Structure formats: C-alpha cells, structure tokens
C-alpha cells in the first residue's frame, strides 16, 4: 500500500541529500519558520480537538518544539562530528573513531493527546540525524492531523518528509513496510503490537509508552505548594498526559489537610464551575469519556465527579476509598480523576509501587534527603521529579523515556538525535608496523602471550 512512497524516500536518502550538515541545519530552520508562520492554525486545531486554551497549547506544544529546535541548531554541528576514542596499544599506530550516521527512512507514529509536540519533537531528532521520515498522526485529533499534513506538504518534498493520515488500518499497513527505525508514542498495549510488527523486519524501535505514575507526598511536604504543583500536572490537558500523576500516596499525618488544599486549589484554578473555565480541556472522544466515567464507581468521590457527555466534559475529580484491585488502580487513568491513598511507612510506599509495572514517571514531595534517596534506590521508573510534576520532561538536557512496560529508548535534545543515529565504530590502522607474532605459525608459548596481550590491551 505504501511501498512506492517508502521506496521514493529510500532513493532520496540513498542520494546523499540529507547528509550534509548545511542541509540538516537548513531543514531545522525551515521547520522553525513554518511553525512561526502557522502558529495560529496550530493553536486553533488544538482547541478544536481538545479544547486546549491558547496559553496551555502554546506552552505544552509549540514552545516545547521550538525550544528543542533551537537546542538542536546550537549543537548539531558537534553531534555529527566523528568522536576519537582511545586505541589499544596492540593496534598502534592507529586511530579509533566513532562515526554517527543516519539510519535511513524512519516512521514516527504519534498520539492524540499532545499531537503537535509528540510528532515534531521526534522529527527534530530525525532531521538533525540526517534521515527521511514518514509521520502518522493519530486520527483521534483530526484537525491537528490535517494541519500538520498541510504544513509538511507545503514546506517539504514528499520524498523527504511526508504525513500519512488515516485510522488503524493505515497504521497497520505502514507497519508492514520495512523502515530503518520506528518511533512510537502511545499505550503499552499498542506498543507491544508495534514491536511485534517491527520484529518481522528486525526494525529497531523507540517506544514511549505510559503506565501508572505514582505521586508520593511525605509528611514534611509544603502542603500549599505541593498541592498546587500536583493539580497542575494532573489536570493539564484534562489529565490526558502520559506523565500525569496517576494516583496520590499521601502520608496519613497530613492527608486530611492535603485533600482540603487540593479542593481549594481546584476552585482557584478553574472557578466554581470548571466546565465554564477557558483553561480546562475536554476528553478527546466518547469512547474515552465512557471509559473514564466508569472509574467514578471505583471509589468515593471526595470532590468533582460531574460530567456532560455532549460536551465531553469530566470535572477535576478526587477519589478516596479505592481498592487496589479496582480498575482505576489497575489501568492507566489518562483523565482528570485522581485516586488518593493514605500510607504510614516507607515500606508501604515501596511495596505498592513495586507491585505494579515500572512507571514512566515517579513524583515525590519532600525535602528530606534520606527519603529522597530511599525512593531513588528502591524504586525504578523512566524518570523522577522531586517537588514538582511533569516539569522534568520540559528541557532538552534530560533524556525522556520509560523502562520496562513504560517504554524502550529515550529522546529530547541529544537523545532524539541518538535515537535515529547508528554509531559506527571505525579503526584506522597504518601500514608502518605489523607485528609478526600475531600470525601463525605461533612461536611463543601461551603463558608469554597472555602477559604480552594483557599489557597491549590496556
């Protein structure tokens, strides 16, 4: 179905057009210029699909992309240089180098929750690394998908970068083709299907998945600041964020005061009726709305719980008395529902987190360094953010990715470049010296050879 398109991109890549540093820098600048020209269209599309306010859409989508482009432009010259490394004595005179080379034609499958950011940030890495790319945005965000298709179509040759729109069948058809790398962002279950399809061609993959990211509030936490930062991270994009705090573990000594602070914070953020707030997004579609509505039955609603199917509105909701076995504690919520669970000891927290698959993110609110170190040592997650939420993924110096069921590989900044790069090892020897002892017939006894090689391989 897409064989001709992929072949054209392979031919474009084989021509060598994408390799020069000047070409890569030019394409990154072209994307930046295109985003600047089409900013209004991008923001309008995000509003139509998710009811994102202009400020939220700009900060969480456009700014993240343009900042990553600027970061790549300042550093790509250094990234593409061959790196000299140490050469063992036995190879001298020689040089050992690592050459970064593009992998070829890549497929980027992006989701609907941050449709612009999660398409273009991987694309920045693919371009900087010198690849061609096929982009497949989610059909669940049709306005953004159409806008991205038009932006790419206007500014780039189809043989170099193209957008393919459509539903599940289109994604399945693309996965039948042989790409040089597949970058997927989405659910763990779909990630498994992507990996199975990729395995048919031994195609390497980067999987940015999800999971139940825990948020721990220790008894010494600043209640006002912690509650505000948790609410922001949880209800950003109506909770439809892969790194949103999925459930809250609050020390019993402060749980009552903390819940009161959360309730007051929601009112301050969104007013007496969040449905009327211009800063509160909507659920993406009816299927996800119905899925989320069922979670309200899994505990006692402490605050919120209102919904309007016609408006795809579900209010910021706090749940208590949730059972570990209930669906809301088994599935990734991916919506504006926050279960709250009390704990007493570090062992309670660690045991609960370890009982679930490794999460994409873990949040901890405390100034107690011993508690911080205990959590860092005894739990595993894609990333950790202490005394804030979500902010650890904003910025290009920290690689972002999961571990175990929450993902494979990482990106952002240099890590994005690395995802789409093969690091080729090169040993360049001289003809000026050639030790005869390495060739048969061997004249030296093994004991002596061991001593010599131990020295030469240092």
Q: How confident is the model at residue 436 (pLDDT cuts 50, 70, 90)?
A: confident
Q: What pLDDT shows up at residue 241?
A: 97
Q: Does pLDDT of 164 surpass 90?
A: yes
The predicted model gives 127-151 an average pLDDT of 98
The predicted model gives 86-96 an average pLDDT of 88
pLDDT over 70 for what percent of the chain?
100
Average pLDDT of the chain to the nearest whole number: 96
Q: What pLDDT shows up at residue 192?
A: 96
DSSP string over 253-298: TTHHHHHHHHHHHHHHHH-S-GGG-TT----SSHHHHHHHHHHGGG
Specify the 3-state DSSP secondary structure of 27. helix
Q: Which CATH number fits domain 214-395: 2.30.42.10, 3.40.50.20, 3.10.20.30, 3.40.309.10?
A: 3.40.309.10
Distance CA 362, CA 357 (A): 12
Distance CA 247, CA 242 (A): 13
Tokens 């609050």 sit on residue: 250
Q: How confident is the model at residue 450 (pLDDT cuts 50, 70, 90)?
A: confident
Q: What pLDDT shows up at residue 376?
A: 98
Contacts of residue 51, defined as CB under 8 A and 6 or more positions apart, other chains included, come to: 280, 281, 282
CATH 3.40.309.10 residue ranges for the chain: 214-395
At the fourth CATH level, which superfamily is domain 3-209+409-422? Aldehyde Dehydrogenase; Chain A, domain 1 (3.40.605.10)
Rounded to the nearest 10 degrees, the angle between the axes of helix 255-270 and helix 223-235 is 50
Residue 132 falls in the annotated catalytic set: no
The predicted model gives 3-12 an average pLDDT of 96
Q: What is the pLDDT of residues 213-262, one digit of tens each?
A: 999 999 999 999 999 999 999 999 999 999 999 999 999 999 999 999 99
Residue 445 falls in the annotated catalytic set: no
Which listed residue (56, 61, 177, 208) is catalytic?
A: 208
CATH 3.40.605.10 residue ranges for the chain: 3-209+409-422
Q: What pLDDT shows up at residue 179?
A: 98
Q: Does pLDDT of 458 surpass 80?
A: no
In the structure, how many helices (H) and strands (E) does the chain have? Answer: 17, 20
Q: What pLDDT shows up at residue 449?
A: 78
Which listed residue (132, 215, 242, 385) is catalytic?
A: 242
Q: What is the pLDDT of residues 291-332, one digit of tens each?
A: 999 999 999 999 999 999 999 999 999 999 999 999 999 999
Q: What is the pLDDT of residues 378-414, one digit of tens each?
A: 999 999 999 999 999 998 999 999 999 999 999 999 9
């Amino acid at each position: 179905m897409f064989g001709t398109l992929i072949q054209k991109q392979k031919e474009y890549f084989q021509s060598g057009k994408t390799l020069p540093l000047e070409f890569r820098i030019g394409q990154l600048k072209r994307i930046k210029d295109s985003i600047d020209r089409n900013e209004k269209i991008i923001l309008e599309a995000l509003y139509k699909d998710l009811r994102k306010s202009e400020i939220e859409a700009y900060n969480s989508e456009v700014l993240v992309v343009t900042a990553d482009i600027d970061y790549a432009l300042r550093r790509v010259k250094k990234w593409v240089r061959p790196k000299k490394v140490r050469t063992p004595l036995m190879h001298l005179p020689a040089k050992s180098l690592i050459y970064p080379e593009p992998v070829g034609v890549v497929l980027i499958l992006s989701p609907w929750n941050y449709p612009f950011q999660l398409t273009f940030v991987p694309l920045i890495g693919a371009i900087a690394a010198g690849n061609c790319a096929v982009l497949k945005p989610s059909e669940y965000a049709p306005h953004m998908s159409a806008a991205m298709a038009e932006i790419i179509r206007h500014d780039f040759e189809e043989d170099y970068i193209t957008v393919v729109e459509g539903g599940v069948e289109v994604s399945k058809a693309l996965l039948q083709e042989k790409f040089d790398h597949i970058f997927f962002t989405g659910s763990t279950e779909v990630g498994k299907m992507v990996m199975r399809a990729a395995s048919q061609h031994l195609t390497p993959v980067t999987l940015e998945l999800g999971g139940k990211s825990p948020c721990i509030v220790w008894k010494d936490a600043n209640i006002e600041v912690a509650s505000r930062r948790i609410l922001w991270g949880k209800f950003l994009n109506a909770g439809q964020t892969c790194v949103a705090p999925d459930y809250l573990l609050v020390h019993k000594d402060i749980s009552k005061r903390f819940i009161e602070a959360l309730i007051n914070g929601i009112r301050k953020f969104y007013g007496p009726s969040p449905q009327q707030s211009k800063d509160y997004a909507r659920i993406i579609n009816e299927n996800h709305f119905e899925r989320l509505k069922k979670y309200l039955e899994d505990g006692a609603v402490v605050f919120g719980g209102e919904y309007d199917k016609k408006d795809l509105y579900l209010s910021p909701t706090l749940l208590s008395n949730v059972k570990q076995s209930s669906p809301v504690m088994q599935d990734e919520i991916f919506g504006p529902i926050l279960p709250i669970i009390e704990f007493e000891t570090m062992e309670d927290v660690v045991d609960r987190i370890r009982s679930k698959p490794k999460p994409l993110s873990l949040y901890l609110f405390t100034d107690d360094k011993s508690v911080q170190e205990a959590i860092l040592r005894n739990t595993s997650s894609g990333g950790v953010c202490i005394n804030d939420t979500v902010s650890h993924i904003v910025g290009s110096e920290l690689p972002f990715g999961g571990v175990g069921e929450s993902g494979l590989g990482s990106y952002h900044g240099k890590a994005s470049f690395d995802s789409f790069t093969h690091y080729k090892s090169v040993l360049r020897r001289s003809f000026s010296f050639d030790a005869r002892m390495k060739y048969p017939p061997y004249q030296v006894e093994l004991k002596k050879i061991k001593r010599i090689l131990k020295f030469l391989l240092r």
